[in-house]
């Protein structure tokens, strides 16, 4: 499945989450998706993104997201990732998802009296923040690439022809 569709599914699932554990599960789903998109871009993405994408694929405190049982019976949504059609669009959407995840997790952390859940939220907030930093770095690299590209090449057109007026 294309990255943008998976990200949209994650945003919907997060918005529909009603319990603290649902929110934490969606946070780790988002982290798994960020790692999968990072892995995909590290292998198949634009050359200037590959190093930062490799870093994104390794975010989450060095822990495999699949170790978290809160992902639910369907496992990680990220396992369905087949392509990243437009890196810029996917990264912008992923950044929005990670931001929403962070906000939702802060709400859970502030509302819980359970120490274990609190620390799980803090860990997930750190992972989402680190992933979002990587995403913003890749978006900056894409912006530099677009800025440095000749204007006509950026629009997909040939430059001006030389010839008599």
Rounded to two decimals, the pTM is: 0.82
Q: Can you read off the two tokens belonging to residue 96?
A: 């929005």
Q: Can you read off the two tokens belonging to residue 93?
A: 């959407």
Task: Please name the residue that has the structure tokens 């699949």.
Answer: 66
Q: Can you read off the two tokens belonging to residue 61?
A: 């405190």
Among residues 120, 121, 86, 94, the alpha carbon closest in space to that of 11 is found at 94
Q: Report CA-CA distances (Å) from 10 to 2, 115, 124.
A: 13, 26, 15
pLDDT for the residue 151: 66
Residue-by-residue pLDDT tens, the chain, 165 positions: 999 999 999 999 999 999 999 999 999 999 999 999 999 999 999 998 999 999 999 886 444 443 454 555 667 899 999 999 999 999 999 999 999 999 999 999 999 999 999 999 999 999 999 999 999 999 999 999 888 777 665 555 545 555 454
pLDDT for the residue 31: 95
Neighbour tally for 39: CB within 10 Å: 18
């Amino acid at each position: 499945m294309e990255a943008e569709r998976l990200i949209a599914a994650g945003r919907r699932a997060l918005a529909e989450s009603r319990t603290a554990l649902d929110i934490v599960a969606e946070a780790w789903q988002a982290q798994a998706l960020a790692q999968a998109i990072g892995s995909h871009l590290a292998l198949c993405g634009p050359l200037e993104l590959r190093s930062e994408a490799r870093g994104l694929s390794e975010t989450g405190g060095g822990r495999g997201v699949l170790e978290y049982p809160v992902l639910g019976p369907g496992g990680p949504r990220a396992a369905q990732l087949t392509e990243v059609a437009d890196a810029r669009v996917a990264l912008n959407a992923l950044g929005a998802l990670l931001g929403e995840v962070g906000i939702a997790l802060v709400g859970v952390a502030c509302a819980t009296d359970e120490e274990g859940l609190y620390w799980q939220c803090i860990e997930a907030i750190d992972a989402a923040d680190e992933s979002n930093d990587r995403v913003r770095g890749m978006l900056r690299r894409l912006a530099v690439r677009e800025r440095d590209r000749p204007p006509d090449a950026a629009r997909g057109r040939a430059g001006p022809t030389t010839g008599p007026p």
